[in-house]
Amino acid sequence: MNFMLNITFYLFILCIVAYIVREVWRAKALRWIAFGILSGAFILNTALVLQRWYEANHVPMSDKYESFVFFAWSIALVYLIMELVTIFIARVHESRLGIIGALQCALSAWMLYFAINSDSTIKELPPALQSNWLVVHVINYFISYSALSISFSAAIVYLIYRAIYRGRAQEIVMSGAGSQLSRDVTFDKLAYISVTIGFPFLTVGLITGSIWAKGAWGTYWGWDPKEVWSLISWLVYLAYLHLPMFLPKTSISKSFRPILLSIVLLVAFPIVLFTFMGMHKLPTAGDSDHIYAE
C-alpha cells in the first residue's frame, strides 16, 4: 500500500503542474490532459480507499491515516464533479478553473503527505465507532470540507487578482458567452456557490454527529472540544452566507464587500482544518471523546 500511496501522491503533484500549465497556455487540449491526470490520481486514490476497506474490514475513515487518504479522495471527487458539470451541463468552453484545479490538487497532495507520515497500522474499531452513523456522519463532513476547500481556493485567487488587476475581466472564472450560464461567474461568486453546496452537508454532518453521540454517549451535545470547534465552523459559514444580505445595510462600499467576504473565507477554512486535524493540540484535547481518531 505504501508504494501505491507514494505513486498517488506524486501523481497529484504532477496534477498541480498540469493545471498550472493549462492556466498559463490555455490550449484546449491541455484542459483534457490535466483532467486526465487528475482522473488517474483519483482512480489510484479510490484503489487505496477500497484496499484499506478490504484489509481493515471496516469503512476506512476511523483514524488519522484513513481520514487523510479519504479526504484527499473526496477533494479530488468534488473537484472532478465540478469540472464535469462545467463542461457538460453548463457548457462552458473557456474558463480559468485551472488555477483552482492546481490548488485543489495541492490540497489533496498535502493530505496524502500527512497519510504517508502517519501510522497506517490497522487497529480494532473502538465501540463508539462501530456504528452505521460513522459512514453517514463522516462522509457528509468530508463532502462539505471538499466543497468548502474550493471556496477557499477561489477566495485566494480572487484576492490576488484584485490586488494585481484593476478591471473585473481578470476576475471572471467562467464566461457566460456561448454557454448555459446566464451571466459571467467571477471567483468570488464561485466561492459563494461552493459554500452554498458545502454548507448543507456541513449541517447534516453536525446533526448526524449529535444523533450518533446520543447513541454512543447518552447525550446529543456534551460540549466536547471537537463538538465546539465543529459548531464554530458551522457558525462562521452561516455568517458568511448571510453577510451579502446584511452588508448593503452598512456603510461598507459595494466594491469592498466581495473582498470582505473573501477574507471571511480565508479565516473560515483554516478553522475547518483545525477542527479536522489540529484540535488534538489543544490543552483540553485530552478530555475529548474524539481523541480515539488521533
Q: Band of the pLDDT at 167, cuts 50, 70, 90?
A: low
Look up the pTM and report it. Answer: 0.93
Percentage of the chain modeled with pLDDT above 70? 93
Confirm if 147 and 198 have CB atoms less than 8 A apart.
yes
The larger pLDDT score, comparing residue 130 to residue 151, is at 151
Q: Residue 67 has what pLDDT?
A: 94
The larger pLDDT score, comparing residue 12 to residue 171, is at 12
When pLDDT is averaged across residues 89-109 and rounded to a whole number, the result is 93
Closest CA to 42 of 65, 73, 20: 73
Helix (H, G, I), strand (E, B) or coil at 95: strand
Query: Which string of b and e fits 82-111 if b means at least 16 CB within 10 Å?
Result: bbeebbeebebeebbbbbbbbbbbbbbbbb
Within 10 Å of residue 6's Cβ, how many Cβ atoms?
12
Distance, in Å, from the CA atom of 84 to the CA atom of 87, rounded to the nearest integer, reads: 5
When pLDDT is averaged across residues 162-186 and rounded to a whole number, the result is 79
pLDDT at 270 over 60: yes
Q: Residue 214 has what pLDDT?
A: 84
220 burial (CB, 10 Å; 0-12 / 13-18 / 19+) is: middle
The larger pLDDT score, comparing residue 132 to residue 100, is at 100
Mean pLDDT over each residue of the chain, to the nearest integer: 90
Q: Residue 166 has what pLDDT?
A: 66
Distance, in Å, from the CA atom of 24 to the CA atom of 216, rounded to the nearest integer, reads: 52
The larger pLDDT score, comparing residue 113 to residue 59, is at 113
